[in-house]
Amino acid sequence: MILAIMLPTASYVLAQQFKVGAIVFHLELYNERGRPITILGALSKPVELEVFAQVYAITPPDDPDVLREVYKGRVRGLTLRLEARGVLRDVAEGWVRFEERRGPVSRDSETAVQLNLWIVNRTSGEVVQRVSYYYTYSPKGMLEGEERTYKVKIAVPKKAKEADIRVAGGCPGYFEWRPVYMITPTTYTQVDGPPEVYNHLLWRDGTLYIMTPLLTIYNAFSSSSPITATIMHKSDKYTWFYAAIGIDFEVEKKIKNGDVTGGLSGKVYLGGKSLDMKVRFGETLESVQPWEEAYIWIWARPVYVFYHEYHHVDCLGHETRTGRNKVDFFVQDVVKTYDSQLKAYYIEGGVRRERLPSFIREWIFNSTLTEYVYTYTLGPNQARLLDDFLEVYVDTCQADFEVPIAPVLAAAVRRVAAHLAPLSVMIGPSISWGESETRYVDGVIINRGQYYEYLYMRQSKLPYRKDPPWRCLWCDTCYYKVPVSLCIESR
């Protein structure tokens, strides 16, 4: 009897020991009316459609590659399974080693993979849809056998909306986004950057971070009231950093011809959760006086990646650059310290009572790229919650608005690819303040004087896009603009 009990137990332990973690994507295809066009649920797709995928994994900050490709090729059926083997396992192990320098590593510590999909109509040879998104996973969990599953919903129009590449029937090959520029805080040490940048860099855990403003208050007039502002992450809530993604045709050419948006108008998306673990952060700007400027900042590692799209034809043995471009922004990591007594991580940051660095300021206040927008009037001794402030006056599409961080990479982008620098201002990494009904970023703005204060925000001229819900046939696509950093001026 003892042997009978031990054998199943040993088998279970052995199975757990050799269980392979994975990220699984189940694709669901919908038509323009929001109705599913898959066959037998998510098991099969229409015969006239072919699906291709490319997946990148975000590497730990001490890895010079930033992104490493873990899959490229055709998707059989409508399921893509990425197991913790090969490159993906190497990346996960790298993240665990990196996090161990800071303290205990738990399954709450997350990073992301970038999923890229191409939907091709076999009959017409058109690429009818492209998808690019970030999905999270736990490196420690994956190495311990955790499997995470995502449903990916994709709208598939009957015809391509504009002229597009046509692929050869029976010989489609595969697609890829190939990085052309990868820019991080380390780029400043590789190019001739502004001298003051080096006063805002930190070497930690084998890599460079840059001082990154989250909230700036400028009290613009001598007769203004003192202004107090706070921004914080609620205790024991996840802190999500998001990626902003833009895709369009011949972005570089359009910018060189004077279109600073690169033709991305209405084609910028907030691309899904990436990074981080349960952490805490909170700072307050107390009584910003007339003519004073001050900001709340964190040590962060934002990343800019610009891509060219290529189509490879297997049977002909050659590749073609399609003219499509993609730009991604995300925060690869933030500096954190571990409190063993509270068993929590704290983001390292602080307050500076001074003007923003000029290499940031020249981009935020560039009238070609941004504009002032009136947002609210604060009466004497009146307070306004930050999330209400944003929801009513900024997030007009109810898109769970992201609080953008300052365009600290703009100067570096300008020195590597000057024509693309505007994109690093108008599309940027952000920190989530909303996730359904939960607010992860909170705060308040207070007028502590006797005068009325008129609050203005510096806003990007490039609109973001939010598509209607899948089954809302009567809803229209919503377009909205976002601030460049969270820079508020009181007048």
Residue 164: predicted pLDDT:
58
pLDDT tens for each residue of 344-398: 778 888 889 999 998 898 888 888 888 888 888 888 888 888 777 666 666 667 6
CA distance 491 to 220: 5
Query: Residue 141, Cα to own-chain centre: how many angstroms?
Result: 22
pLDDT surpassing 80 at residue 160: no
pLDDT tens for each residue of 383-399: 888 777 666 666 667 66
DSSP string, 209-259: EEEEEEEEEEE--TTPPPEEEEEEEPTTSB--EEEEEEEEESHHHHHHTT-
Residue 237: predicted pLDDT:
53
Side-chain half-sphere CA neighbours of 43 within 13 A: 3
CA distance 125 to 140: 42
pLDDT surpassing 80 at residue 444: yes
Q: Which amino acid makes up residue 161? A: K
Beta strands 279-288 and 344-347 are parallel
pLDDT surpassing 70 at residue 9: no
pLDDT surpassing 80 at residue 247: yes
Tokens 């377009």 — which residue?
Answer: 479
Confidence of residue 5 (pLDDT cuts 50, 70, 90): very low
Closest CA to 245 of 363, 150, 117: 117
Q: What is the pTM of this model?
A: 0.87
